[in-house]
Structure 1
Amino acid sequence: MVFGGETVILMGPPASGKGTQAVSLAKEKGFVHISTGDLLRENVRQQTEIGKQVKEFMDAGKLVPEALVIELLKKRLEQDDAKTGVVLDGFPRTLTQAEELEKLLQSKPIVVSLEVPDEELIKRSTGRRSCSQCQQIYHIYFNPPKQEGICDQCQGALIHRSDDTEVVVKERLNVYREHTAPVLNYYRKQGVLHTIDGNRPPKVILEDIQSLLNL
């Protein structure tokens, strides 16, 4: 199987906004947004053959083998709605995944890396709050509730996730860079990597990404 549609890969550290951009770009271009995390969870939920294997690894607290992730992606690319193009959100994460993905693509992808200063990423991550009842997401800096600590929707108490502390966020950033640096270098050598300032309004970032697709 070789995928002939346009492929856009969005990369960026946690809280860089790549998920938001991936959804917006896919909607604007009529492409399919593919998040491998969502893909894994959906297959587990539907109890597909691969989903059953994935669940075994997840239940054991182990990383899902790259071969299974690639197989899932391959099957998703074969579906009719993906023929025009896809936006890959946070994939590939490793050099092996990048090399395996290349075997599936007819033409080279457009790779966009969102760059955001660490201080801003930490601010974005540590400011998140979620409702303990309805899971509505808030942000004390960018999207605060009307009443501090109380959900606007259901009046539930807002909680601060234990993994949204500065220490944990810094560790997540270190892990991201350690694994992603070889992937970025791989695409940089191929001349397909575009670095974009992700510390601007989402609409401006989206316009920049779209202009890359029209080159």
Structure 2
Amino acid sequence: MGTSGADQSGSLDHVGRYEEALARFADGLQELHIDCDAPAFRDIAEKAKNAGRVNLSVSAISEALSGRRLPSIDFTLELVRQLSGNDAVIQQKWRDQWRATKQLQRRAQPTLRERRRAQSARSEISAEEVEDLRTQEIALRREVERLQEEARAASFLISKAHADAERVIASAREEAARILASADKNLLRVRNHAAELLHAADEALGRSLSREEAPIETLRNRSSLRLVLLGPPGAGKGTQAAFLAKYLQVPHISLGDLLRHHIGKQTDLGRYARDRLNRGKLLEDELTLQMVLRRLKNSDAQRGFILDGLPRNVHQAALAADSVQIDTALEIAVPEQETLLRLTNRRVCTRDSSHVYHLIYNPNKSGDTCDICGAPIYLREDDSEGLIRQRLAVYRQLASPVVDFYKERGIVSTISGMGKVHEVTERAIKALAVIA
């Protein structure tokens, strides 16, 4: 009997692993679909049909992305090919993931079949079984009555225990107050440390740039300072955009921030964008540009701005060129290995995602917990090596033509994103001053 219980537990474990693997498989396809600008299912099916390899119906694509079933290996590889191009590395990655999921499916299959048979059998209950259930119900009611009697007899003990519970609660409240006070001190310490780092970065950059002809002042005096930031995931575009916006006195305009603003304010564009994103689709290039152009009409952006997150592709770059002049495209280059090092070592607090650590550059001091609030920290799924390599492949496919687009106009300046933050900022300011 012990062996039977172990077998049953193992079978259920196979089912759980398979269901988790199938969910990860579907999530990966959804991420790939979104990273490739979320083409419509019918467009994917039409391209596959024209290629003449594997038939991808709209309903089958929907089932694969929602995790309702595991598609065939040929279906999977053709879908990945249509989304990310004929990249041998990506194809092999998905072939390996499909085989691993299929193996778990085979192990779970007997249990799944037995479960379906059991569910079918439970739907047919005989009159004799109904009578047995009624007898059991009567017995259970009598047992409940007996337990209620025992509960009433135990009421005195409960009353006595109440006083002890009050003392425990009071002690717990004191401990909670102590922990909260400690957390407040830690938060103040972290904020002070961040302020010290920012001040040190400002001073370091100021000392470095003061040795020359003050390129910051040269850039500040320009009548037009319209910049586009380019670079792979993990290059530090957001960090550099914040520093450059401060030093050059122009606004940092992030596509992600604009989307969150419109969604939070529930504007017409925000409601439309939220609906698109909830359905796994990206905003059309024309509407994305419309949202950015509306922001550029604000008074603070008349002399210049720093665009972060746009353009994502050549079509967006061409559309933007028809409406607004871009003076400089600053490309922050980092080796792929550095991107992997930066992102795979990033850890985020489970309670507050603004509490971010890095195992190498900014390690926490509390083991596997957040220094600020004490909650566990973890590696986000988006920061796993497999997904990062996939994002880099998509970036290379979409961003290289954007860089070439601006190079043809002679306005690209490429700097290294390696080193300390203020060193990268210094390179950026010098490069912008030269290209001006």
TM-score by length of 2: 0.47
Corresponding position of 1:165? 384
1:114-134 per-position Cα deviation (integer Å, ceiling 9, x unaligned): 111111100100001111112
1:117-172 per-position Cα deviation (integer Å, ceiling 9, x unaligned): 11110010000111111221111111111122111101111111112111111111
Is structure 2 residue 337 aligned with structure 1 residue 124?
Answer: no
List runs of 5+ in structure 2 lacking aligned partners: 1-222
Corresponding position of 2:356? 137
Q: CA deviation at 1:211?
A: 1.8
1 or 2 for the larger relative contact order (CA 8 Å, sep ≥6)?
Answer: 1
Is structure 2 residue 255 aligned with structure 1 residue 45?
Answer: no
1:1-215 alignment runs, 5 A limit: 5-105=224-324, 107-135=325-353, 136-215=355-434
1:36-73 per-position Cα deviation (integer Å, ceiling 9, x unaligned): 11111110110112112111211211111111100000
Q: Secondary structure at the match of 2:414?
A: strand
Alpha-carbon contact 2:263-2:271 (below 8 Å) kept: yes
Overall identity of the aligned pairs, in %: 35
1:70-123 per-position Cα deviation (integer Å, ceiling 9, x unaligned): 000010000111112100112111101111111222x44201111111111001
Alpha-carbon contact 2:415-2:431 (below 8 Å) kept: no
Distance 2:334 2:247 in 1: 23
Q: CA deviation at 1:204?
A: 1.4
Alpha-carbon contact 1:5-1:86 (below 8 Å) kept: no
Q: How many residues align?
A: 211
Distance 1:52 1:156 in 2: 33
Q: CA deviation at 1:24?
A: 0.7
Q: CA deviation at 1:6?
A: 2.0
Distance 1:153 1:54 in 2: 34
Q: Which amino acid aligns with 1:133?
A: R
1:168-206 per-position Cα deviation (integer Å, ceiling 9, x unaligned): 111110011100011011111111111111112211111
Q: Which amino acid aligns with 2:334?
A: V
Between structure 1 and structure 2, the one with the greater Rg is 2
Distance 1:54 1:155 in 2: 35
C-alpha change, 1:108 and 1:58, in structure 2 (3 Å) is: closer
Task: Please say which of residues 120-129 and 55-64 is displaced more in the overlay.
Answer: 55-64
TM-score by length of 1: 0.94
Q: Which amino acid aligns with 1:8?
A: L
Structure with more helix by fraction: 2
Structure with more strand by fraction: 1
Hey, which bits of structure 1, 4+ residues long, moved more than 3 A?
A: none
List runs of 5+ in structure 1 lacking aligned partners: none
Q: Which amino acid aligns with 1:129?
A: R
Q: CA deviation at 1:5?
A: 4.3
Distance 1:5 1:74 in 2: 16
Distance 1:134 1:44 in 2: 21
Q: CA RMSD in A?
A: 1.3
Q: CA deviation at 1:25?
A: 0.3
Q: Which amino acid aligns with 1:195?
A: T
